[in-house]
Chain A
Amino acid sequence: MIQPQEMIWLSLGVAGVLIVATAIGQGLARRDGANPVIENLNQRIFAWWVMVGLLAIAFLFGKGGVTLLFAFASFSALREFLTLTPTRRGDHWALLAVFFIGLPVQYYLVWTDWYGLYSIFIPVYAFLILPIIAALSGDSTRFLERIAFVQWGLMICVFCVSHVPALLSLPILGFEGKQLLLIAYLVIVVQGSDVLQYVFGKLMGRRKVAPALSPSKTWEGLLGGIASATALGAALWWITPFSPLQAAGFSFVICVMGFCGGLVMSAIKRDRGVKDWGPMIEGHGGMLDRLGSVIFAAPIFFHMTRYWFTV
């Protein structure tokens, strides 16, 4: 697929940032090799190379590649989510339907641009049909709790995540063929916000935002991270259909949603008694640990862009 001019500059920029980060990480490791925080930092940086690489390959294949990549991310996220869910034997058919019908159909609808159906397929059809399947199995033990878990998992891991590739189908005047940049913009701002919150938190974090939920989220990290990531988003206005001021507003909303998403996911993990969602991404934890902020930001970003910028 032919990439827009801006993508080349963006790729060079991201590669530059990763090279600098790798150099800093290796320098720190040389000075203080046995420190677990620095070891974890270098694992995270390495995982970033892999994630950016996968995203770049998906971009080269265009819409099909990106849709497939996020379908896979949804699959991994759902697998982690349902692992921590108290399902019973009676949920077997409902869970099979979620994985092998719900997920592929949602991404197929996104791939074919059927907005009218993919925006209600899970909130309406899956919402009504899954409890029917569960009821037919005849097991009423903790029924409401079980179907609520499954529906919530499907909304979070599949419906919300599918709004990232859905950005490709937004018809924005004067922005035709460049929608991949919207995905790059969303991912850079959300993940940039996560990284900058981590950096500010590690360097000067003292006061905890929500000690009952997460030991690592501090006010210093939150304010520093969101302010700097909003500035980053504003500075990237040239890859979007937005003006610099609009880009700042959009990225601010993305950052706040991303932060709150992280908080919600922490509350779930705390309730389930785990530190990470899984072992999938070295240094980061599971797919959901990395994706949590994207999940909360993507649908809002999608709908704001759709409401104000599409024809």
Chain B
Amino acid sequence: MSLLTYMAARLFAMGAVGLARFVTGVRPDWRGCQPQAKQRVYFANHASHGDFVLIWTVLPNALRAATRPVAAQDYWGGDGLRGFIGRAVFNAVLIERIPSQDKPHPLDVIKKALAEGCSLILFPEGTRNMGDAPLLPFKSGLYHLASARPEAEFVPVWIDNLSRVMPKGHFLPIPLLCSVTFGAPMTLRAGESKDVFLARARAALLALKPNGVCA
């Protein structure tokens, strides 16, 4: 990355964080853990393109640099502005949405990033939730990562209200308060099956959802 790209990326990141604070007044609620420099996989509900910006915004500066969002190659990996945002600004771990023979498997790409020691932000629902259900079923990737990297902490993160700030099809945000709640870290238990682990992770995430006043 050239120095110029690097500086533009840092400037853009500061702008994104400032804008997120101005629009959402976001405050972190470290309910189940403290912000610490450990290897973590933050797994969150996904209802808006701004989700990882919001998590990123509430992380302390020191942790931000070592925390990479997992994002779709076809959307955030191109050459234009989105590619710049995905690669240079957020240093995203870019994966193929649909695994194919000639491209590296998404799980391998994520595992490689974990092996390098960085923390991750990922959305185990696999896609943006546009319906009325609070949380879609989880894809199995979370389980495979937990078994491949048992020493990493898996932290559930509930992002509240952001889907009202930027509903589907609108790009201008309405200022509304959002919150980001971090739950207690979890790891794969000895002999725990895939379904049990995924159900436990999903329940832990749902338990962080505030009682909706606007439901």
Contact = CB atoms under 8 A, between A and B. Distances in A.
Nearest to B174: A95
Given A83-B161, A279-B27, A272 B213 contact: yes
Most buried by A among B27, B168, B175: B175
A80 interface: yes
Contacts of B168: 89
Contacts of B175: 75, 78-79, 82, 99
Contact of A89 (B27, B167, B213): B167
Interface string A52-81: 000000000000000000000001101110
Interface string A74-104: 0110111011111101001001100100000
A178 to B, nearest CB: 34
Contacts of A84: 213-214
B176 A278 contact: no
B27 A82 contact: no
B66 to A, nearest CB: 27
Contacts of A87: 164, 214
Where chain B touches its partner, the secondary structure class is loop
B174 A76 contact: no
A204 interface: no
> Nearest 3 A-B pairs (CB), nearest first?
A83-B177, A95-B174, A79-B175
Contacts of B177: 79-80, 83, 278
Contacts of A89: 167-168
A14 interface: no
Nearest to B215: A86
A121 to B, nearest CB: 20
Contacts of B174: 82, 92, 95-96, 99
Nearest to B211: A273
A82 B176 contact: yes
Interface of A: 75-76, 78-80, 82-87, 89, 92, 95-96, 99, 272-274, 278-280
A78 B167 CA distance: 19
Given A84-B213, A84-B214, 6 more contacts: A82-B174, A89-B167, A89-B168, A96-B174, A99-B175, A279-B27
Interface string B152-165: 00000000010010
B151 to A, nearest CB: 34
Contact of A278 (B25, B213, B214): B25
A50 B25 CA distance: 18
Interface string B198-215: 000000000000010110
Nearest to A75: B175
Nearest to A85: B214
Interface in B30-83: none
B176 to A, nearest CB: 5
B170 interface: yes
A33 to B, nearest CB: 22
Contacts of B25: 76, 79, 278-280
Contacts of B170: 92
A89 to B, nearest CB: 5
Contacts of A280: 25
B42 to A, nearest CB: 21
A97 B176 CA distance: 14
A106 to B, nearest CB: 16
B29 to A, nearest CB: 9
Contacts of A76: 25
Nearest to A79: B175
B168 to A, nearest CB: 8
A274 B177 CA distance: 14
A89 B177 CA distance: 16
23 contacts: A75-B175, A78-B175, A79-B25, A79-B175, A79-B176, A79-B177, A82-B174, A82-B176, A83-B161, A83-B176, A83-B177, A83-B214, A84-B213, A84-B214, A86-B214, A87-B164, A87-B214, A89-B168, A92-B174, A95-B174, A96-B172, A272-B213, A273-B213
A92 B165 CA distance: 9
Contacts of B176: 79, 82-83
Interface string B98-137: 0000000000000000000000000000000000000000
A264 to B, nearest CB: 18
Contacts of B213: 84, 272-274
Contacts of A278: 25, 177
A260 B25 CA distance: 28
